[in-house]
């Protein structure tokens, strides 16, 4: 594959070679591996994976930018949806999954404080040891007064809890499997070594993955053509159960780029949605310098809604990020632009554009709100709009 990307500095290339050697060793020992295993190692191999090694990832100086990294408006707007739920509970907990740099936790805490709706405790569940360290450092500096109520969990909660769960751009970072439609039906795309390099190979679909792919293809409104390749998040339901299964009363907010299954698994999207990010450039070769690129796939929100239903959640909202933030009164978080000094006005307008414009995050990102045991009158206003639930 021909990619016009500048190769990394030598020491970064060496880092990537170490990770490649680890993957090579695994394939040599046991044969071709599932793509989800490759992605798991590329992102999370201790000390080497993209999220586990101490490389700069988020923000303008990293590889990509997320909504919380743009500035506080995003967290302040979500706080307006979260606050009414927390206020209605005794001693609620806020659980943030995959907190990245810790920026969102700081801004959300401050926004909830301003709305007089602080949770009793704020838990962070972060898979990457490196990012967890960065979160601790940032929160010690910027949220010192709140530390007695903040804790980092080593594993998802095992006991029942009430409150709100937030996961921003986490589901798209969960390892996916790949499948391809051939003349003989769908097959799994696995990773093998050929000519000394990682390459894709086919093998028959097996086990749960085979069942899920078959079910998916049966439900689609159109047949996928030969040569079509895409992803499936086989672990989605297990992940949701692990992080939110013990939520008794409350809400889970999942924000990510993604679509309904009919759009994601569309015959015109021949190559699926797997993307690789390196220094704000997008490419499509997951084998290019593993460990230095973020690998991500769009979320199938139809599958997530089905999993949530199986787990006894009510689907309270599903909409584009722009529509959701509008319903959540982003205008109140922004304030009056005309009263701001020029530089601030430019910064705020830029944040707003990136969050709301359709070709930026506005329509590519979706928000899903799942609830348990919340009465209609307890629902925040933003969750009562019909949104795009009918499309799931
Ligand atoms: C794309 S980043 C998003 C970070 C942050 N939420 C933001 O929006 O800026 C994905 C985050 O999820 C974390 N993560 C991925 N899988 C996870 C899991 N199974 N449990 C907890 N954290 C996870 C990553 O380490 C990283 O912090």
pLDDT tens-digit map of 31-89: 999 999 999 999 999 999 999 887 666 666 667 789 999 999 999 999 999 999 999 99
For residue 173, the CA-to-ligand 1 centroid distance in Å is: 7
For residue 76, the CA-to-ligand 1 centroid distance in Å is: 20
Going by pLDDT thresholds of 50, 70 and 90, the confidence category of residue 128 is very high
For residue 51, the CA-to-ligand 1 centroid distance in Å is: 8
For a mutational test of ligand 1's pocket, the pick from 64, 65, 70, 173, i.e. the residue with the most ligand atoms closer than 8 A to its C-beta, is 173
pLDDT at 180: 98
Average pLDDT over every residue of 291-317: 96
Cβ–ligand 1 contact at 258 (below 6 Å): no
- Terminal C-alpha separation, the chain: 35
pLDDT at 288 over 80: yes
pLDDT at 56: 63
pTM (2 d.p.): 0.95
For residue 98, the CA-to-ligand 1 centroid distance in Å is: 3
For residue 119, the CA-to-ligand 1 centroid distance in Å is: 21
Q: What is the DSSP letter of 278?
A: E
| Nearest ligand 1 atom, CA 52 | 25
| Residue appearing with tokens 């795309």 | 189
Q: In whole numbers, what is the pLDDT of the chain averaged over residues?
A: 94
For residue 97, the CA-to-ligand 1 centroid distance in Å is: 6
Cβ–ligand 1 contact at 209 (below 6 Å): no
pLDDT at 1 over 60: no
| Nearest ligand 1 atom, CA 67 | 8
Going by pLDDT thresholds of 50, 70 and 90, the confidence category of residue 244 is very high
| Nearest ligand 1 atom, CA 128 | 25
Condensed to tens digits (0 to 9), the pLDDT of residues 187-230 reads: 999 999 999 999 999 999 999 999 999 999 999 999 999 999 99
Cβ–ligand 1 contact at 169 (below 6 Å): yes
Minimal-distance CA residue to ligand 1 atom 24: 98
State how far the Cα of 298 lies from the Cα of 273, in Å rounded to an integer.
Answer: 6
Task: Work out the percent of the chain whose per-residue pLDDT is above 70.
Answer: 97
pLDDT at 60: 66
State how far the Cα of 348 lies from the Cα of 340, in Å rounded to an integer.
Answer: 9
Please say whether the beta carbons of 239 and 143 come within 8 A: no
pLDDT at 57: 64
In the chain, the domains with their CATH numbers are: 10-58+176-235+266-295 (3.40.50.12710), 67-174+237-262+297-383 (3.40.50.12710)
Cβ–ligand 1 contact at 138 (below 6 Å): no
For a mutational test of ligand 1's pocket, the pick from 100, 105, 291, i.e. the residue with the most ligand atoms closer than 8 A to its C-beta, is 100
SS3 content of the chain, % helix, strand, coil (to 5): 40, 25, 35
Average pLDDT over every residue of 83-101: 96
For residue 96, the CA-to-ligand 1 centroid distance in Å is: 9
Cβ–ligand 1 contact at 98 (below 6 Å): yes
pLDDT at 108 over 70: yes
pLDDT at 118: 98
pLDDT at 279: 81
Cβ–ligand 1 contact at 44 (below 6 Å): no
Cβ–ligand 1 contact at 175 (below 6 Å): no
| Residue appearing with tokens 């759009």 | 263
Average pLDDT over every residue of 312-324: 96
State how far the Cα of 75 lies from the Cα of 59, in Å rounded to an integer.
Answer: 16
For a mutational test of ligand 1's pocket, the pick from 39, 128, 170, i.e. the residue with the most ligand atoms closer than 8 A to its C-beta, is 170
Cβ–ligand 1 contact at 127 (below 6 Å): yes
H or E segment and range at residue 100: none
Closest CA to 192 of 339, 27, 51, 50: 27
pLDDT at 4: 72
């Amino acid at each position: 594959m021909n990619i016009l990307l500048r190769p990394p500095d030598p020491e970064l290339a060496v880092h990537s070679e170490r990770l490649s050697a680890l993957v090579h060793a695994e394939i040599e020992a046991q044969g071709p591996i599932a793509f989800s295993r490759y992605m798991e190692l590329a992102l999370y191999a201790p000390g080497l994976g993209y999220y586990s090694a101490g490389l700069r990832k988020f923000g303008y100086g990293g590889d990509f930018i997320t909504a919380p990294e743009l500035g506080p408006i995003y967290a302040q707007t979500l706080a307006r949806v979260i606050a009414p739920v927390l206020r209605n509970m005794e001693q609620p907990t806020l659980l943030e999954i995959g907190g990245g740099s810790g920026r969102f936790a700081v801004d959300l805490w401050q926004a909830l404080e301003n709305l007089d709706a602080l949770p009793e405790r704020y838990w962070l569940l972060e898979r990457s040891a490196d990012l967890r360290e960065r979160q601790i450092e940032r929160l010690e500096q910027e949220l010192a007064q709140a530390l007695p109520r903040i804790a980092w969990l080593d594993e998802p909660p095992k006991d029942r809890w009430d409150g709100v769960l937030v996961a921003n751009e986490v589901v798209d970072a969960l390892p996916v499997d790949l499948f391809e439609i051939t003349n003989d039906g769908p097959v799994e795309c696995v990773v093998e070594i050929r000519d000394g390099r990682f390459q894709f190979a086919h093998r028959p679909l097996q086990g749960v993955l085979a069942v899920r792919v078959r079910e998916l293809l049966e439900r689609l409104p159109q047949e996928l053509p030969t040569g079509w390749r895409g992803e499936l998040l086989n672990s989605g339901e297990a992940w949701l159960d692990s992080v939110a299964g013990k939520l008794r009363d409350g809400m889970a907010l999942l924000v990510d780029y993604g679509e309904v299954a009919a759009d994601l698994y569309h015959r015109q999207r021949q190559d699926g949605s797997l993307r690789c990010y390196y220094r704000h450039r997008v490419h499509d070769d997951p084998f290019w310098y593993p460990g230095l690129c973020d690998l991500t796939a769009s979320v199938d929100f139809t599958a997530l809604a089905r999993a949530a239903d199986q787990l006894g959640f009510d689907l309270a909202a599903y909409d584009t990020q722009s529509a959701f933030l509008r319903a959540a009164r982003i205008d109140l978080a922004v304030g009056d632009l005309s009263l701001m000094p020029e530089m601030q006005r430019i910064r705020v307008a830029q944040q707003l554009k990136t969050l709301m414009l359709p070709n930026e995050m506005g329509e590519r990102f979706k928000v899903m709100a799942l609830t348990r045991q919340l009465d209609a009158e307890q629902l925040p206003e933003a969750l009562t709009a019909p949104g795009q639930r009918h499309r799931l």
